[in-house]
Amino acid sequence: MEDIKMVDLKAQYAKLKPELDAAFSAVMESMEFINGPQVANFARSLENYLQVRHAIPCANGTDALQIALMAFQLPAGAEVIVPSFNYVSGAEVVALLGFKPVFADVLPETFTIDPASVKNVITPATAAIIPVHLFGQGAAMREIMEIAEEHNLFVIEDNAQSLGAEYAHPDGHSSKLGTIGHIGTTSFFPSKPLGGMGDGGAVFTNDDKLAAIIQKIANHGQSEKYKFSTLGVNSRLDTLQAAMLDVKIKYVDEYNAARQEIARFYDNAFAEITAIQAPHRASYSSHVYHQYTITVAPELRDGLKAHLRDNHIPSMVYYPEPLHLQEAYTYLGFTSGDFPNSELLSKSVLSLPMHSELKEDQLTYICQHVLDFVKSHG
């Protein structure tokens, strides 16, 4: 059996080597490292793939969120609601721009922002919500868009982890996650569903006016050369990264399907075991399993992780501490007990190895060790 990895970028590269190397060489020959034609080509590929009017590439997924927030030109003192069980980027950019991050709890099954908790924290200063499509599956967008409409709020979908997943609207039609709110963002961090060979990100919108502002903000706020009409940032996707991503975007659906197959294997193995909660599949969203995250009793979690490690099986805790309890955000005044679901999840989640190159013997071995531990500690 080959060594088990959490993500296997090397194997992914090996399969596409001729195509990626040719794209790389083309950029090296042109020397157009900044804003080469590959950047616009990739933006068009992304628009086609997502069926969205505008995709604007930028330097990384955190910048994408920052640029999206800047595009709304919110008033000083604006509050922005973000889930507490999440990566730090959303809360961080809200705070960096001088706005106030307001945390909300997540739902225990999907781990995505709880619409009821969002309603609880809305104030007259609330200006936007950033739902996160966590681990490969969508947040409850219908409810969130209804709340946003009622309170006149902007919605940014953080789709760093779920590129390619589909959301089923109540009327039966479906759209790609990231294209439902006013703005969607993503990251091309190497391990994400569409990963580059370095950093990258993008902002999407169907709104022509917002697209024009986003484009400008990502380029120093320039309206024309050396004319700066608004405050902006320097956030570019490298030509080399765009060239790599324009090759890899053709395989996103294939990678997502391969991970769905692996998720089915895990699901079957854990189906009868009440001590393990396999990832919930929401009725309204497909799941592309950026992570395959199980939950177990908090008193078992760290022991299970250690048992797997002792048997050369990597696993990860995403995320070990909810944001409202992190030192950097204590100034906001949240305390332990404010968001019970986020707090419990941080103690009970465990993400198992998940990537398109996992083999059946590896999966059998992983499942056997998970089950052995859980059964002997039941």
Report the number of secondary-structure helices (H) and strands (E) in the chain: 12, 13
Residues in CB range of 184: below 8 A, 6 or more apart: 50, 52, 156, 157, 159, 177, 178, 203, 204, 205
**Alpha carbon distance 12, 179 (integer Å):** 27
Among 8, 92, 158, 343, binds ligand PLP (CB under 6 A): 158
End-to-end alpha carbon distance in the chain? 29
Element (DSSP H or E) covering residue 225: none
Q: How far is the CB of 29 from ligand PLP (least distance, A)?
A: 28
Partners of residue 101 on adjacent β-strands: 80
61 binds ligand PLP (CB under 6 A): yes
Q: What sign results for the dihedral spanned by CA atoms 233, 152, 139, 298? A: positive
Q: How far is the CB of 286 from ligand PLP (least distance, A)?
A: 18
Closest CB to ligand PLP among residues 291, 362: 291
Q: How far is the CB of 133 from ligand PLP (least distance, A)?
A: 8
Residue numbers 170-189 binding ligand PLP by CB under 6 A: 187, 189
62 binds ligand PLP (CB under 6 A): yes
- Determine the size of the site formed for ligand PLP (CB under 6 A): 13
Closest CB to ligand PLP among residues 183, 363: 183
Partners of residue 56 on adjacent β-strands: 203
162 binds ligand PLP (CB under 6 A): no
Contact segment (CB under 6 A) with ligand PLP among 46-54, 107-115, 155-163, 231-239 equals 155-163
For residues 272, 345, 194 and 256, what is the CA-based torsion angle, rounded to 10 degrees?
10
In this chain, which residue has its C-beta nearest to ligand PLP?
61
**Alpha carbon distance 43, 55 (integer Å):** 6
Q: What sign results for the dihedral spanned by CA atoms 275, 281, 282, 288? A: positive
131 binds ligand PLP (CB under 6 A): no
Closest CB to ligand PLP among residues 244, 363: 244
The catalytically annotated residue of 192, 216, 248, 305 is 192
Closest CB to ligand PLP among residues 63, 343: 63
318 binds ligand PLP (CB under 6 A): no
Residue numbers 1-60 binding ligand PLP by CB under 6 A: 60
Element (DSSP H or E) covering residue 301: helix 298-310
Residue numbers 200-229 binding ligand PLP by CB under 6 A: 201
Tell me whether residue 347 is one of the annotated catalytic residues.
no
Partners of residue 81 on adjacent β-strands: 102, 129
Cis geometry, peptide bond prior to residue 319 (ω within 30 degrees of 0): yes
193 binds ligand PLP (CB under 6 A): no
87 binds ligand PLP (CB under 6 A): yes
Q: What does the binding site for ligand PLP look like in residue numbers (CB under 6 A)?
A: 60-62, 87, 89, 132, 158, 160-161, 187, 189, 199, 201
Report the catalytic residues.
192
